[in-house]
Amino acid sequence: MRHAWRVARHLQPRDQDPHRRCSRLGSLEAQVNTTLTAIPMDSIRRGDNDRQAFDQVTLEELSESIRAHGLVQPITIRPMPDGQYQIVAGERRWRACKLLSWREIPAIVRDLDDEAASAIMLAENIGRKDLTPIEEAYAYRRRIDQFGWSETQVADVAGVSLDLVKRRLSLLNLVPEAQKLVASGQFPVGHGQAMADLDNNRQRIALQVYSHSSGMTLRAFRQVVGDLLQEQSQDALFDLQQFWVEQVQAEAQWVGSGKNAKVDVPKAPDLPLVQVAASDSIGEVFVRYIRTLAAAGYQQEAGAIGNLFERLVKGNWVSLPRPNAS
The residues annotated with a catalytic role in the active site are 91
Q: How far apart (Å, rounded) are the C-alpha atoms in residues 121 and 110?
A: 13
Per-residue burial over 11-23, b if 16 or more Cβ lie within 10 Å, else e, is: beeeeeeeeeeee
If 0-12 CB within 10 Å is exposed, 13-18 middle and 19+ buried, where does residue 240 land?
exposed
**105 neighbors 94 (Cβ within 8 angstroms):** yes
Strand order from edge to edge, sheet including 75-79:
37-40, 104-109, 75-79, 85-89, 44-45
Quote the CA–CA distance of 211 and 208 in Å, as a whole number.
5
Nearest CA to 47 out of 134, 127, 142, 137 is that of 142
Nearest CA-CA partner of 89 in 71, 103, 73: 73
